[in-house]
Structure formats: C-alpha cells, structure tokens
Amino acid sequence: MSTTNLSAYDANRVPHAGGMKFDIIVSDWNSEVTFALCDGAVETLKKHGTFDKDIRVFHVPGSFELVYAAKKSCQCKDVDAVIVLGSVVRGGTPHFDYVCQGTTNGIAALNAEGVKPVIFGLLTTDNMQQALDRAGGSLGNKGVECAQTAIRMVGFTCDIDENAYVAL
C-alpha cells in the first residue's frame, strides 16, 4: 500500500486541454468521497485549459451504474473522453466483490471497444479512511490523476513515430 501522495505529477507532461471535451460520471454513493474526486478532476481539467462549457458532470446512484452511464456518454459525438468516479468500501458481505468486479469488467469492456477513452476512477478500499485518504487526503486525489490521464489519452495515437520508441 502506498504511503505517499500519488497525485503528484509533472504538469509539463500533460498536453494543453483547450478544445477537449470531457464527461465525468460520478456515483452519489459515498458522496463525501466521490464529490471530492469530482472536484479534483474538474479543477485539473481547468488547470490544463479545458473550458467550463466543455466539462459535463453526470450523477448516478452507485458505482455499478457507472458502466451504463459511461456507455451512453461514449455514444455522444461531442465528447473526447469519459471519466468515471466511484467509491466502494468493503463491508461484511460479498456485495463489495460483485460491485467492484462488475464495474471493473464493464469499464474494461468499454475501453476494449476503442470508441473513446474511459478513465477508471473507482476507489475500492477496505475502509472509509482509505477512501478519504485518496480523495484529497494524505494520498492525494484520484480525481486529479484521472483528469490528467484523460487529457493524455485524448491525444493517444498509434501513428508510427520512430521517436516514440524507447530502447529497453
């Protein structure tokens, strides 16, 4: 388990995001966590040049519903990337496992379709403190990480560029 702020990154490695359009799908379950993740994502997108009008935030009841909403968002032609944000805290039943696995598999399937990037911002923690530590606490804000990842993935291309290869 990490003990350092995972949201620290080199802002110079993130492209300018002016003109890029993002949908953020946020779960209302564990809202003290998910809304903080959303705030971090929105602030980071703006920091890198995304205009207010190009950031849409949609709310769904829980993390399992992130998949459906992300699929619908991917069908919108005016969106470059989708960020999903949720928080599932382990409880005393297998429900945690089902929600985490179903949501993970669903988002992975959307990415495999290759329509547009869907950035996975689902916190899966053993307790609420671990979630809070990752939503603006001692371990940073996963929403910040998701936003900078979304910006970088919008520009992802498979064009052949001999300068892109790194010697092993």
Residues noted as catalytic: 95
Q: How many CB atoms lie within 10 A of CB 41?
A: 29
Burial class of 25 by CB neighbour count within 10 A (0 to 12, 13 to 18, 19+): buried
For residue 151, the SS3 value is helix
Pairing relationship of beta strands 140-141 and 118-125 according to DSSP bridges: unpaired
Q: Alpha-carbon distance 41 to 83, whole Å?
A: 9
Q: Which residues contact 2 (CB under 8 A, 6 or more apart)?
A: 139
Taken in order 44, 47, 52, 54, the sign of the CA dihedral is negative
Which helix (H) or strand (E) segment holds residue 8: the answer is none
